[in-house]
Amino acid sequence: MNVTLRTPRFVLRPAQTGDAEAIARYLNDFAVAGNLARVPFPYHLSDAKAWLRTRVPNLPVEETNFSIDLPGEGLAGHVGFHRGPLGPIIGYWLGQPFWNRGIMTEAVSACLDWFFAASTEPTLYSGVFHFNAASLAIQLKLGFTETGRSTLLCLARGAEVEHIDTKLTRSVWKARDK
């Protein structure tokens, strides 16, 4: 899907070829890549270009990805959906210069509104590595609940890492007091 969402402070838009440098700059940071399952470290410009080539037009809802584009600052991070073993998964990252401004709470919230309107999926899955208190805080604040623990390969760490598994149901999201 090629969708653009507007939040009070920024735009969530499809990734584009010109994003490669910014993506590589922010993901080539162990503080970011080390919290993500599928991002290698070091992360090269060629990795960003290869990933951008996968962002073909009209991907299904469950494979849609949004670039967080801040006015005057440009690309700051991503929120994306992909298919997992139990159902769709949401993942996200923000470049370190943009942390602690409430940006990801705002971005994920807008993406959840879009996701539950655009799909019929009853449940969205996510989770965090066990040390990622900020990301867990975002998810709990938005209505995700912990469903258990697992281990997940973290490419940047080259190791299996304890993972707190979470999920958000459509009914909880719709009933949320916004």
Query: According to the binding rule CB under 6 A, does residue 128 interact with ligand COA?
Result: yes
Establish if 104 lies at the interface with ligand COA (CB under 6 A).
yes
- Locate tokens 């009853």: which residue? 122
Q: Order of strands, edge to edge, in the sheet holding 88-94? A: 5-6, 11-13, 65-70, 74-83, 88-94, 123-129, 159-169, 145-154
Choosing from 32, 111, 142, 161, the residue that interacts with ligand COA (CB under 6 A) is 32
In the list 3, 134, 140, 153, the residue contacting ligand COA (rule: CB under 6 A) is 134
Ranges assigned E (strand) in the chain: 5-6, 11-13, 65-70, 74-83, 88-94, 123-129, 145-154, 159-169
Q: CB–CB of 88/32 below 8 Å?
A: no
Q: Which of residues 82-101 bind ligand COA (CB under 6 A)?
A: 92-94, 99-101
The minimum distance between CB 92 and ligand COA, in angstroms, equals 5
Instruction: Identify residues 138-167 at the interface with ligand COA (CB under 6 A).
Output: 138, 141
* Footprint on this chain of ligand COA (rule: CB under 6 A): 32, 35-36, 92-94, 99-105, 128, 132-135, 137-138, 141
